[in-house]
Structure 1
Amino acid sequence: MTTRLATRFKACAEQGRAALVTFITAGDPDHDTSLALLKALPGAGADVIELGVPFTDPMADGPAIQAAGLRALKAGQTLAKTLAMVREFRAGEADTPVVLMGYYNPIYIYGVERFLKDAKEAGVDGLIVVDLPPEEDNELCLPALKAGLDFIRLATPTTDDRRLPAVLANTAGFVYYVSITGITGAATPDADVVGQAVARIKRHTGLPVAVGFGVKTPAQAAAIAAGADGVVVGSALIDALRGSLDAGERATPATVPAVTGLVSALAEAVRGVARAAAE
């Protein structure tokens, strides 16, 4: 069975361009605004959507995404509500892949078997669980693959050629290359270094390689798009959302347009690299 992720990355490759992967936190700043934003992302140019599952101890996330998670939790967001959001999104959008990104604890509490069943039925396509290493594949990775969900693994600048095969062994959908060492949104990636790293990873796998952590501007997205199969943008979108909130951190009429406007600019930049390459 061909997955939505495989179909979307194949379509982007056939167009000679990278995919734009956008990250938002489910329930930030509230459920209804977050759902409206989720529904608006494909039209703004998002090829793949990563939906963050808020958690109280997000060790890999920088201040922007940590704050987004806290806003979402304060507004009452739960894993069950996140799955319901995906279900409602799927009612009107059948093609755009949705990947849940987060930590194992909420899934463990929900119950792995129940979670995988509910996630698949809701229309989730893949999982990124940043605190489960390959040594723990029996916990979630292998059951997820059996349930028909892609399990996307992170590779980092410190993942050497000895470690890489273990990281890639059960990876599906795409490989997420973390372009910097440290937390999300903390630094700016060097496009040349990233291109070399992507080429190294692709010597070990036929999967698409998407690059994230630190990509903030359309110009940076375009630079990364020249050497990667996908460009992931998260903290910059969360910053745009935060800048639209009122003094009480509540949504305003500017909230959804603030994010979709940036997504459109990023999408144009990523597609611009393809047009230049195709000419």
Structure 2
Amino acid sequence: MADFFTEARTRDELGLAVFLNAGDPPLPVLADCVAMLDESGVDCLELAVPFPDSPTDGPVVRRSADRALAEGVALAETLAFVEAVRPSLKRLRIALLADWSHSLRTSPPAAYARAVADSGADALLVHGLPPRARAAHHEALREAGLPEVTTCYPASPPATVAEAAAHATGYLYVVARYGRSGGGTSPGGHAGLAPFVGALRDLTASPIAVGFGVSTAEDLASVALSGADAAIVGSAGVSALERARETGADPVNAYRSFTAALGRPCTAVPRPRGGERDHPEP
């Protein structure tokens, strides 16, 4: 199992993951952003292989993906980027996000799993994985020793939740609400996910991360109250980089200021450490 959010758990702090598209900002600048995230103690970078017209992304992330695609960044360029930056990282983990239809469909699962693992990425999250491809995908990642990030919604059918929990060897991404990224949260905020997060503890020993609608220090505090291990921040950070681009500000400094303002709240209850579990092995 990948070592996601462990350092945060040892301090009973909420872990922090951030989302960026590979190629926005351009890869040389992105490398400086990655180094800054590592130095500043961010736990995980969800690095997306850019793809167009995502049905789950709002306009901010869509514009970012379009800029990255215009830079000529695809799967090969993203994997080469990960391979280049990974050796220098002391703490930051990289979870690669790839769209199955746009980036993976034409490649056998064993081939793309091995390529992602060889790049040094710490896990793979696949967007839009069709049911017919899931068994081969899960097996390929197991064979490659590549941890998997899976997703579910609080309103997902029980069988979907159970499947996501069963295959989450990196972390389990709880998408807080239906809709597109960049919108607000439901009434009650992310703290209202506590019963669902608690139920997931009986299904997986992997970390649980909550995303969608997480953009401020107050949102992180609400995620902490849900009992999750980490928060995932996407559109708000991408927007900060977009503003820096428009105003001519330094993107690395702009993103540093954004992530610093998020803070790191304490978790509502202590989390398992060093491989401990909240429940006995089945």
| TM-score normalised by the chain length of structure 2 | 0.86
**Which of 60, 63, 66 is the aligned partner of 1:67?**
63
Q: Does the aligned pair in 1 maintain the 2:138–2:167 contact within 8 Å? A: yes
Letter paired with 2:123? G
Q: Do residues 127 (structure 1) and 124 (structure 2) align?
A: yes
C-alpha displacement of 1:118: 2.3
- For 2:122 and 2:42, the matched residues in 1 are separated by 15
Contact 2:149/2:171 (<8 A) preserved: yes
Instruction: Provide the C-alpha distance between the structure 2 equivalents of 1:171 and 1:228, rounded to a whole number of angstroms.
Output: 15
**Residue aligned with 1:187, SS:** coil
Q: 8 Å contact 1:45–1:263 — kept in the other structure? A: no
**Residue matched to 1:154:** 151
Give the Cα separation in 2 of the matches to 1:141 and 1:155.
Answer: 16
Root-mean-square deviation (CA, aligned residues, Å) is: 2.1
Post-superposition offset of 1:207: 1.7
What does residue range 24-103 of structure 1 map to in structure 2 within 5 Å?
24-103=20-99
What amino acid does structure 2 have at the position aligned with 1:116?
Answer: A
Amino acid at match of 1:25: N
Q: Which residue of 1 aligns with 2:17?
A: 21
**Structure 1 unmatched runs, 5+:** none
- Cα displacement (A) at 1:265: 2.0
Query: Contact 1:45 / 1:264 at 8 angstroms: preserved in 2?
Result: no
The residue number in structure 1 matching 2:223 is 224
Residue 19 of structure 1, CA deviation: 0.9
Distance in 2, Cα, partners of 1:229 & 1:100: 19
**Structure 1's 132 and 41: CA in aligned 2 closer, same or farther, altered over 3 A?**
same
Give yes or no for contact 1:25–1:53 (8 Å, CA) kept in 2: yes
Query: What displacement does 1:174 show?
Result: 1.0
Once the two structures are TM-superposed, the CA of residue 57 in structure 1 deviates from its matched residue by: 3.1
Which residue number corresponds to residue 273 of structure 1? 266
Per-residue deviation, 1:28 = 0.4
The one-letter code of the counterpart of 1:122 is S
Structure 1: how far apart are the matches of 2:20 and 2:105? 22
Q: Contact between 1:244 and 1:255, CA under 8 Å: does it hold in 2? A: yes
Which of 93, 115, 118 is the equivalent residue of 1:118? 115
Q: Report if the CA contact (8 A) 1:29-1:75 is conserved.
A: no
TM-score by length of 1: 0.87
Deviation at 1:110, TM superposition (A): 5.0
Q: How many residues align?
A: 266
| Structure 2, unpaired ranges of 5+ | 271-282
Write the distance in 2 (CA, Å) between the matches of 1:119 and 1:241.
26
Structure 1 residue 191 displacement after superposition = 2.4
Distance 1:86 1:27 in 2: 12
Counterparts of 1:9 and 1:219 in 2: how far apart (Å)?
A: 20
**Displacement over 4 Å in runs of 4+:** none
Amino acid paired to 1:55: F
